[in-house]
């Protein structure tokens, strides 16, 4: 009986997912969303995409990265420069930014020999090195003055659907990776890289692959972010707090799960907006307390909490 209620039936999950996507697509059309709500939902979609991309490395592989802001920043500046240099469609610039960010992520190949906290520390160094390099590369990034893009209200409005489409694709990719042979190989590497190698699973190849894919999605997210705000600067795009934000989103929702980063990103963005408005001096400390509470009492985050509540509800119904 316990095996039957361990997880939600896959057909119901897929159905609920498709319904949610359809509702989100139609929401701005059928309702009179305020500009604030419209913009907040767009930013939430971008955060969800970034959290899911980070989870491919930190959750599926167990390689906790504190330097994903480097790929986010590279994608953002490459896309911005392309839009300033040539009259190309914005989606092509975003894709180019994602491609360059994915290639840039392969530069971290030497760090993949490290495991656990050593890898995490190495990614902090890589992220900070990238921030300093791009800050002083004024010809490309504008330095501390940043880059300004032409303001396009129509593009900013349409980014709601572009960002939602990105989330749909990345969430679907997470689902298929988790349930595929690739997902099993990633879990084997996460559990014991040496034992996985003895079974013929190349930890180096799959870590490079996932770091490249994760970096590409992160770069694509950064490119959309640049178009949304029409202004970017290195300290913001490459900042350590941005990398920590992606980690917190996954941890709050549930590291290594498919839907956890989505839930965590939504909670993170909404909570951040409230705390910045109400407690601007304390919001980072409150985030820290929330993180400690989750790690101590619910390692699987909000996803683990919801699953446990669902199981107890099913058990009580079956017992009745």
Q: What is the pTM of this model?
A: 0.89
Q: Could you tell me if residue 167 is inside a domain?
A: yes
Q: Could you tell me if residue 244 is inside a domain?
A: no
Cβ atoms < 10 Å from Cβ of 278: 9
Domain count for the chain, please give it.
Answer: 1
Q: Could you tell me if residue 213 is inside a domain?
A: yes
Q: Closest Cα partner for 170 from 294, 272, 265? A: 265
Cβ–Cβ under 8 Å, residues 251 and 55: no
pLDDT, residue 301, reads 80
pLDDT, residue 133, reads 93
pLDDT, residue 111, reads 83
Stretch 191-195: mean pLDDT: 85
Residue 232 phi, psi dihedral angles, 5° rounding: -140, 150
Cβ–Cβ under 8 Å, residues 126 and 108: yes
Torsion of CA 167, 168, 170, 176, to 10 degrees: 150
Per-residue tokens: 96: 């180019």
Q: Could you tell me if residue 111 is inside a domain?
A: yes
Quick: pLDDT tens for 257-270.
Answer: 888 999 999 988 98
Secondary structure letter of residue 180 according to DSSP? S
Quick: pLDDT tens for 204-215.
Answer: 899 999 999 999
Q: Could you tell me if residue 307 is inside a domain?
A: no
Q: What is the mean pLDDT of the chain?
A: 87
Measuring CA to CA, how many Å separate 306 from each of 141, 265, 266? 43, 16, 15
List the single range of 168-182, 278-292, 297-311 with lowest mean pLDDT. 278-292
How far apart, in whole angstroms, are the C-alpha atoms of residue 265 and residue 249?
Answer: 5
How far apart, in whole angstroms, are the C-alpha atoms of residue 44 and residue 38?
Answer: 10
How far apart, in whole angstroms, are the C-alpha atoms of residue 53 and residue 58?
Answer: 9
Stretch 168-176: mean pLDDT: 94
Q: Name the residue range of residue 200's domain.
A: 34-239
- CA end-to-end span of the chain, whole Å? 14
Q: How confident is the model at residue 313 (pLDDT cuts 50, 70, 90)?
A: confident
Quick: pLDDT tens for 54-89.
Answer: 999 999 998 899 999 999 999 999 999 999 998 889
- For the chain, list the strands marked E by DSSP: 147-148, 231-232
Q: How confident is the model at residue 10 (pLDDT cuts 50, 70, 90)?
A: low
Burial of 148 (0-12, 13-18, 19+ CB in 10 A): middle
pLDDT reading at 236 higher than 70: yes
Percentage of the chain lying above the pLDDT 90 cut: 47
Secondary structure letter of residue 268 according to DSSP? H
pLDDT, residue 9, reads 53
Q: Could you tell me if residue 152 is inside a domain?
A: yes
Q: How confident is the model at residue 7 (pLDDT cuts 50, 70, 90)?
A: very low
Q: Could you tell me if residue 141 is inside a domain?
A: yes
Q: Could you tell me if residue 156 is inside a domain?
A: yes
Q: Closest Cα partner for 105 from 234, 207, 3, 257? A: 207
pLDDT, residue 3, reads 38
pLDDT, residue 5, reads 37
pLDDT reading at 189 higher than 60: yes
Measuring CA to CA, how many Å separate 58 from each of 52, 160, 311? 10, 27, 27
Residue 49 β-bridge partners: none
pLDDT reading at 228 higher than 60: yes
Q: Which residue has the tokens 């001096």?
A: 281
Q: How confident is the model at residue 316 (pLDDT cuts 50, 70, 90)?
A: confident
Quick: pLDDT tens for 124-150.
Answer: 999 999 999 999 999 999 988 889 998
pLDDT reading at 163 higher than 90: yes
Q: Which string of DSSP letters, residue by residue, matches 183-222?
A: HHHHHHHHH-HHHHHHTT--HHHHHHHHHHHHHHHHHHHH
How far apart, in whole angstroms, are the C-alpha atoms of residue 106 and residue 207?
Answer: 10
Stretch 4-19: mean pLDDT: 66
Residue 86 phi, psi dihedral angles, 5° rounding: -140, 145
Q: How confident is the model at residue 6 (pLDDT cuts 50, 70, 90)?
A: very low
Cβ atoms < 10 Å from Cβ of 36: 9
pLDDT, residue 170, reads 96
């Amino acid at each position: 009986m316990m095996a039957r209620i361990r997880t939600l039936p896959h057909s119901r999950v897929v159905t609920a997912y498709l319904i949610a996507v359809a509702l989100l697509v139609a929401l701005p059309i059928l309702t009179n969303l305020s500009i604030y709500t419209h913009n907040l939902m767009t930013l939430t979609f971008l955060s969800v995409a970034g959290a899911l991309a980070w989870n491919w490395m930190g959750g599926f592989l167990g390689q906790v990265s504190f330097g994903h802001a480097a790929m986010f920043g590279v994608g953002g500046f490459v896309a911005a420069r392309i839009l300033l240099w040539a009259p190309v469609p914005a989606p092509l610039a975003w894709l180019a930014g994602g491609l360059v960010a994915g290639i840039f992520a392969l530069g971290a190949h030497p760090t993949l020999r490290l495991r656990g906290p050593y890898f995490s520390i190495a990614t902090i160094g890589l992220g900070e090195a990238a921030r300093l390099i791009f800050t002083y590369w004024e010809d490309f990034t504008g330095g501390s003055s940043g880059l300004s893009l032409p303001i396009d209200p129509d593009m900013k409005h349409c980014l709601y659907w572009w960002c939602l489409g990105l989330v749909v694709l990345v969430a679907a990719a997470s689902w298929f990776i988790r349930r595929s042979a690739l997902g099993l190989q990633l879990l084997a590497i996460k559990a014991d890289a040496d034992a996985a190698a003895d079974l013929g699973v190349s930890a180096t190849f799959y870590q490079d692959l996932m770091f490249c894919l994760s970096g590409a999605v992160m770069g694509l997210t950064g490119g959309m972010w640049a178009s949304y705000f029409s202004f970017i600067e290195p300290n913001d795009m490459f900042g350590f707090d941005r990398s920590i934000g992606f980690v917190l989103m996954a941890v709050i929702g549930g590291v290594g799960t498919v839907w956890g980063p989505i839930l965590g990103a939504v909670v993170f963005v909404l909570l951040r907006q409230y705390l910045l408005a109400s407690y601007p001096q304390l919001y980072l400390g409150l985030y820290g307390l929330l993180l400690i509470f989750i790690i101590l009492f619910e390692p699987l985050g909000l996803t683990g909490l919801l699953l446990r509540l669902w199981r107890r509800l099913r058990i009580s119904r079956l017992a009745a």
